[in-house]
Amino acid sequence: MNFVKNFFTRHLIMAPTSLFTWIFLVSGAGLNFFVSSAIGAGLYAGGYVAIKEIQLRSTLKQFGLARSEYKHIEQQVIESKKKVKQLTNMYGQVRSIQAFRQVYDMAAKARRIIKIVQTNPRKFYQVETFFYAHLDSAVEITSKYGLLVNQPLKDTEIKIALQHTRETLADLNQEMERDLRNAVATDLEQLRMEIDFVDVTINKEKPLLESKGEHSNDRETIK
């Protein structure tokens, strides 16, 4: 789901291909300028679509996803990026340092989760609540907090509402922390397995090394 990389890859392949084809048609084949341009443009567009399809199929095969699944996840990622942008645009509305820190932390965690899902779309299923609930709640609660904190009157009711909102933001921050942990959970487990494998391998080799050392010492003693 590396949009930028795949995008530039398609253009880097098709741009020189189409250009060289156009030059050959005009100079080598002697075709009309407009005909050559039409063929070059058609080649560019057709090749672009074909490479995009190949990239998509490769990604689907790599992560074991159906096309509909991938498209849904892709759409969720696009929408979530917009929501994170909404969240960051509210930095100036929250005047409390505590609230600002909470909103900043939530935005940072959200960007990290989105990046992880972009890298491995299957991880979407480990953090569905982030995409379907937590991020939406973060944007909504932060927006309401911004409205409350900018009210000219600060009566008891508004103060209580602000305190409650700050507490809710803290809870959401913790939920997104759990989301982030869930996103990296399988990576951590895989890392532990790899470390355990290396440890076992090293421990198996140690007796051999000690045995060789003992034989060497024995020979020195005999001498």
What's the pLDDT at 223?
45
**Burial class for 131, CB neighbours closer than 10 Å (0-12, 13-18, 19+):** buried
pLDDT, position 10: 84
Query: What tokens appear for 77 in the block?
Result: 């990622």
Averaged pLDDT of the chain: 82
User: If pLDDT is split at 50, 70 and 90, which confidence band does 195 have?
Assistant: low
Q: What pLDDT is recorded for position 199?
A: 54
Q: Where are the alpha helices (DSSP H) in the chain?
A: 3-23, 33-63, 67-88, 97-119, 128-129, 135-149, 156-222
Give me the amino acid identity at 122.
R
pLDDT per position as a tens digit, 18-70: 888 888 888 877 777 888 888 888 988 998 899 888 988 888 998 899 999 99
Comparison of pLDDT for 193 and 159, the residue scoring more: 159
Of 75 and 151, the one with more pLDDT: 75
